[in-house]
């Protein structure tokens, strides 16, 4: 029973952490067919912004808002630096964008390293108690408020993003641009603006993720690559472009890791191997992921 609850709690929280990063990949991919490999680095940048603001004495909620706003700008900068200069290109065949987004991520992390330093920084949780409730215990497993907040926020974000994508004019524009950028432009959609908006929103998502994750993992530089890579795998498993796919992919990784570390004796070192096997299986059987729609091959 303890094991079961432990797996459930750990799987949900780790899965939500991963999903919070993966949402950013999906949002951009859903509109542009581009994966922003700088997403993990944007999370690091947002985290350090929040940290810098809290150190200046601003309470965490204020820091959270400032970080979200600043990260909108970070997203735009990433787009201007990594995507704009490439001009018009077909992301299917011309994969230069992989290098530019990856490169801008490396540059961003190194700039933080040079200016702020490489130490891991703490952030206070957004809420340490809800109506006086701090920690719940089920079968000896502690559930803290920040963890609960993490899990609930991830689910809320899925609902919010899916509504944005399916029920709003902006969401329709995203999908139109993804489907056929040229035609979308002819229909009066400012496609360049749409692409920029997705990057800005991805920046904001990175800030939300950073502040929610920080109580658990701190703000540190290697989140960019490590968490970014895991989130990427989650996004691919769930289906790039699908928001619910991101959270399902996150849960797949979270639960796999949790189950493996409970079942095996050596502390879960098999976890990443099995996650990779799952990842490969998904790609072999269903390259578009669980919720992705397979691309039609045109000749």
Partner 1 sequence: MAKAGTKPADTGEVEEVAGEFGQGVLPLYRRRGELIRFVPVLLLVLFILWFGSSQADSRKWIDIGTEAMYLAIAAAGVNILLGYTGLLSLGHAAFFVAGGYAGAILSPAIGLPPWTGFLLAFVGSAALGAVLALMCCHLHGFYLTVVTFGFGALVPAIVVVAKDQLGGPAGRSVDHFVDTSKVPGAHGPFSLQLGLFYLSAFFLLVTLFLCWNLVRSRWGRAYMAIRESEVAARVSGVNAYRYKVSSFALSAGFVGLAGWLGAQRFVLVSSQVATPDQSFRYVITVVVGGMGTLAGPILGAFGFSLGFGITWVQNTFRDYQGLLYGALGLIAVATAPEGTVGNLRRYARSYQLRRAKRGVAAKPVPPPDVAAELKRPAVREREALEGDGEVLRVAGLTKRFGGVAALSDVDLVVKRGSVHALIGPNGSGKTTFINVVTGLYKPTAGRIELDGTSLEGLSPAARSGRGLARTFQNLQLWRRMTVLDNVMVGAHGRNRVGLVQSLLRTPKSHRVERQLRERAWGLLHFVGLADRGRDLAGTLAFADMRRLEIARALASDPELLLLDEPAAGMQVSEIHDLAELIRQVRDAGVTVLLIEHHMDLVMGLSDTVSVLDYGQKIAEGPPAQVRRDSRVVAAYLGEETE
Please, what is the minimum distance in Å from the beta carbon of residue 94 to partner 1? 5
Q: Give the tokens for residue 57.
A: 């004495």
Whose Cβ is closer to partner 1: residue 1's or residue 93's? 93
Q: Does 185 bind partner 1 (CB under 8 A)?
A: no
One residue of 100, 153, 191, 243 binding partner 1 per CB under 8 A: 100
User: Does residue 120 interact with partner 1 by CB under 8 A?
Assistant: no
- Min separation Cβ 262 and partner 1, Å: 17
Q: Examine residue 164 and tell whether it contacts partner 1 (CB under 8 A).
A: no
Q: Which is nearer to partner 1, 113 or 216 (CB)?
A: 113
Query: In the 3-class helix/strand/coil scheme, how is the chain assigned residue by residue?
Result: CHHHHHHHHHHHHHHHHHHHHHHHHHHHHHHHCCCCCCHHHHHHHHHHHHHHHHHCCCCHHHHHHHHHHHHHHHHHHHHHHHHHHHCCCCCCCCCHHHHHHHHHHHHHHHHHHHHCCCCCECCCCCCCCECCECEEEECCEEEEHHHHHHHHHHHHHHHHHHHHHHHCHHHHHHHHHHHCHHHHHHCCCCHHHHHHHHHHHHHHHHHHHHHHHHHHHCECCCHHHHHHHHHHHHHHHHCCCCHHHHHHHHHHHHHHHHHHHHHCCCCCCCHHHHHHHHHHHHHHHCCCCCCCCCCCCCC
Q: Is 105 in the site for partner 1 (CB under 8 A)?
A: yes
In the region spanning residues 14 to 73, those forming contacts with partner 1, defined by CB under 8 A, are 35
CA distance 198 to 203: 9
- Binding mask of the shown chain, residues 278 to 297, with x at each position contacting partner 1 by CB under 8 A: -xx--xx--x-------x-x
Whichever of 144 and 230 has its CB closer to partner 1, that residue is 230
271 belongs to the binding site for partner 1 (CB under 8 A): yes
CB-wise, 9 or 253, nearer to partner 1? 253
Question: Per CB under 8 A, which region of 43-51, 103-111, 131-139, 212-220 contacts partner 1?
Answer: 103-111
| Contact call for residue 130 and partner 1 (CB under 8 A) | no
Site for partner 1 in 216-245 (CB under 8 A): 225, 229-230, 232-233, 236
Residues that bind partner 1 (CB under 8 A): 35, 81-82, 85-86, 89-96, 98-100, 102-107, 109-111, 113-114, 225, 229-230, 232-233, 236, 269-273, 276, 279-280, 283-284, 287, 295, 297-299
């Amino acid at each position: 029973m303890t094991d079961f609850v432990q797996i459930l709690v750990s799987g949900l929280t780790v899965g939500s952490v991963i999903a919070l990063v993966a949402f950013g990949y999906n949002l951009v991919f859903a509109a542009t067919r581009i994966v922003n490999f700088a997403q993990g680095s944007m999370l690091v940048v947002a985290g350090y912004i929040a940290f810098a603001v809290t150190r200046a004495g601003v309470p965490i909620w204020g820091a959270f808002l400032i970080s979200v706003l600043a990260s909108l700008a970070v997203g735009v900068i990433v787009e201007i630096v990594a995507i704009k200069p490439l001009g018009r290109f077909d992301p299917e065949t011309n994969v230069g964008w992989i290098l530019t987004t990856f490169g801008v991520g490396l540059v961003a992390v190194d700039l933080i390293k040079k200016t702020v330093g490489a130490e891991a920084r703490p952030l206070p949780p957004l809420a340490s108690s809800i109506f006086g409730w701090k920690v719940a215990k089920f079968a000896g497993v502690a559930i803290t408020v920040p963890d609960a907040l993490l899990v609930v926020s991830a689910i809320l974000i899925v609902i919010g993003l899916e509504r944005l994508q399916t029920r709003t004019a902006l969401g329709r524009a995203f999908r139109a641009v993804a489907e056929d950028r040229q035609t979308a432009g002819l229909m009066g959609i400012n496609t360049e603006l749409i692409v920029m908006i997705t990057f800005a929103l991805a920046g904001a998502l990175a800030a939300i993720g950073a502040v929610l994750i920080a109580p658990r993992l701190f703000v540190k530089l290697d989140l960019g690559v490590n968490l970014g890579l895991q989130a990427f795998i989650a996004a691919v498993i769930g289906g790039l472009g699908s928001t619910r796919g991101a959270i399902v992919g996150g849960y797949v990784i979270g639960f796999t890791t949790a189950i493996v570390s409970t079942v095996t004796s050596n502390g879960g070192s098999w976890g990443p191997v099995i996650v990779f096997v799952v990842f490969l299986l998904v790609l072999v059987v269903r390259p578009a992921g669980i919720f992705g729609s397979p691309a039609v091959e045109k000749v």
